[in-house]
Each structure stands twice: as structure tokens, then as C-alpha cells.
Amino acid sequence: MALAVGQPLGRDGNLNRLIQVCEDEDVALLEIKNLHVEVEDKKILNGLTLTIEKGQVAAIMGPNGSGKSTLAYVLAGKDNYHVTEGDVLLDGKSILGMAPDERAAKGVFLAFQYPVEVPGVATMTFLRTALNAQRKTRGEPEFSTPEFMKRVRETSKLLGIDQEMLRRAVNVGFSGGEKKRNEILQMAVLEPRLAVLDETDSGLDIDALKIVSEGVNRLRSPERSMIVITHYQRLLEYIVPDVVHVMAKGRVVKSGGKELALELEATGYAQFADEAA
């Protein structure tokens, strides 16, 4: 296992988690078993089964309405997404009974498709409150303000993020590109074990897409798995996945290597409409 790949890897609290991860080597990081989910009495996920290995970057592709974003929200624990059947296991243990913040402390991170504005709260403050809340839940010591600020400054420099953004209120008045970059910054600071990127490419021009993808690639490491949800193959040119899963009508209908994405680009999603039915 090459430990030197991920930049933020050596950082104290992470080490313990890494050791734990190594001990449980035989268990997949995430196992989704026959998941059925309803939203407002409408069935969205329909027996979805999916396994994400440690350190794996998995792309999830699929047409509109196939349930990609629902999957992201269910993993994060959003209200009103009712699991009627099946289970979601993180390190072999079910997380369905956990509150969103408990899941976050266990290392689940969701990069939102539409990041939410939090008026009056500086990004720096938001990040510190979040990180210390997670550390507290995990029983780790909280960071002092100077210690924390140093970390965030270093991380933002690494990701090419303007320091000025840290002083601005979270996502308020941010451009589409800035919002997505802010999500990646948060991911870098919070160091999740499972990052779910929900249509991170939507609304980005090609330059912004490159910047965000570079950020994501820097965060790839053997102890961090990623689920990259996207509609288009374009993003996967920059974030090259280990595996590609195709979703249709609330389940995974095809899995393959990165070449599957290219194939889809050529043939479109129409072929899966029948298979899923």
C-alpha cells in the first residue's frame, strides 16, 4: 500500500483511522445492499446494490431521473428519504440509523450539486466549526484557532484557492465555479474516507472544471474512496475512475472499467431503459 500518495495523509487523527482501515482490510468501505428508497411516496431507488472498495474512485453515470442524486442524499442521511428495504454498510456496519453529523464524523462527505449559502458565516468559521464538531464526535482533540487557520491556508494554497474566499460568507455571492471549489476545499480540510461528488461538473466551464478536477485528484489516496456522480463523460477525462457504474431506474444496470464511460458517450443511455425495466 503506497502511503505517500495523498498529501494530507500523515496528519495525526487520520493515522488512527488509517490503522483501523488497514486492520479491516478485508471489509469493503461501502456496501449498498438491495436498497429501496422512497421520496414523498415515490419510489426512486429500486434494489440498488453497489460495493465501493477502499481507495477506489467509482464513477456513477446515468440518465436524468435514474436516482443518482437520491443515492448521494441517502448516503448522507437527508430527511424524507425513506429506506423501505435494504441496507448501507460502512466498514461492515449499517449507517442507516445514524444522523447526518454522525455519518460525517465517520468520514462520509457529500460535495453538493447545489452548495447552500449560509449568510453571515465566514467560510473559515464554518470549516472550523465543522472540523472540530467531527473531531469531538470521534473523541479527538479539537484544533486551536491558529493551528486550524494554518492548516486551511496551506490546503487552500495547494488547491489554488484565494485566501479572500475564506473570509467571505459561505457560498454567498460565489460564482458557480467558486462554489464547487469551496466544496473541494471543505473536502480537503475534512479529509473524508468516502467522498460523494454529486454532479460536481454541472455549471462549470472547461477552465473551472480543470481546476476542480485537479483539486479532486490531489485528494485521491489509498484510504479515501470517491463516488463521482456525473451525467457526462467529460468530467471523467479529468478525474479518471477505477470503475464505472451505470444507473437506470434506481439500480445499477452495468459496471465496467473506465472505458465504459467512453462507450456510453457513443451509444447514449437509451439502451439501458429496457434492461432496467
Partner 1 sequence: MPAVQETVEHVRSIDVDQYKYGFVTDIESEKAPKGLSEDTVRFISAKKNEPEWMLAWRLEAYKRWLTMREPTWARVDYPKIDYQNAYYYSAPKRNVLASLDEVDPEILRTYEKLGIPLREQEILAGVVKPEGERRVAVDAVFDSVSVATTFKAELKKAGVIFMPMSEAIREHPELVRKYLGSVVPVTDNFFATLNSAVFSDGSFVYVPPGVRCPMELSTYFRINEANTGQFERTLIIADKGAYVSYLEGCTAPMRDENQLHAAVVELVTLDDAEIKYSTVQNWYPGDADGKGGIFNFVTKRGDCRGARSKISWTQVETGSAITWKYPSCILRGDNSRGEFYSIAISNGRQQVDSGTKMLHLGKNTTSRIISKGIAAGKSDNTYRGLVSAHRKATGARNFTNCDSLLIGDRCGAHTVPYIEAKNSSAVFEHEATTSKISEDMLFYCRQRGMSAEEATALVVNGFVKDVLQQLPMEFAVEAQKLISISLEGSVG
Q: At what angle do helices 123-137 and 176-190 cross, to 10 degrees?
A: 30
Shorter beta-carbon distance to partner 1: residue 105 or 264: 105
What's the closest the beta carbon of residue 78 comes to partner 1, in angstroms?
A: 6
Contacts of 244 (CB under 8 A, 6+ apart): 58, 59, 60, 61, 236, 255, 256, 257, 258, 260, 261, 264
Q: Which of residues 71-130 bind partner 1 (CB under 8 A)?
A: 76-79, 99-101, 104-105, 109-110, 112, 115-122, 125-126, 128-130
What is the distance between the alpha carbons of residues 138 and 219, in angstroms, rounded to a whole number? 22
For the chain, helix (H) and strand (E) counts, in that order, are 11, 12
- Size of the residue set binding partner 1 (CB under 8 A): 36
What's the closest the beta carbon of residue 196 comes to partner 1, in angstroms?
A: 10
What's the closest the beta carbon of residue 128 comes to partner 1, in angstroms?
A: 7
What is the distance between the alpha carbons of residues 172 and 88, in angstroms, rounded to a whole number? 34
What is the distance between the alpha carbons of residues 127 and 186, in angstroms, rounded to a whole number? 7
CB 10 within 8 A of CB 4: no
Binding mask 181-220 for partner 1 (x = CB under 8 A): -----x---x------------------------------
What's the closest the beta carbon of residue 256 comes to partner 1, in angstroms?
A: 30
Using alpha carbons, select from 214, 152, 228 the residue that is nearest to residue 181.
214
Give the cell for residue 249. 431506474
Shorter beta-carbon distance to partner 1: residue 150 or 210: 150
Shorter beta-carbon distance to partner 1: residue 165 or 243: 165
What's the closest the beta carbon of residue 167 comes to partner 1, in angstroms?
A: 10
Binding status of residue 139 toward partner 1 by CB under 8 A:
no
What is the distance between the alpha carbons of residues 188 and 158, in angstroms, rounded to a whole number? 10
Binding site for partner 1 (CB under 8 A): 76-79, 99-101, 104-105, 109-110, 112, 115-122, 125-126, 128-134, 136-137, 142, 145, 169, 186, 190
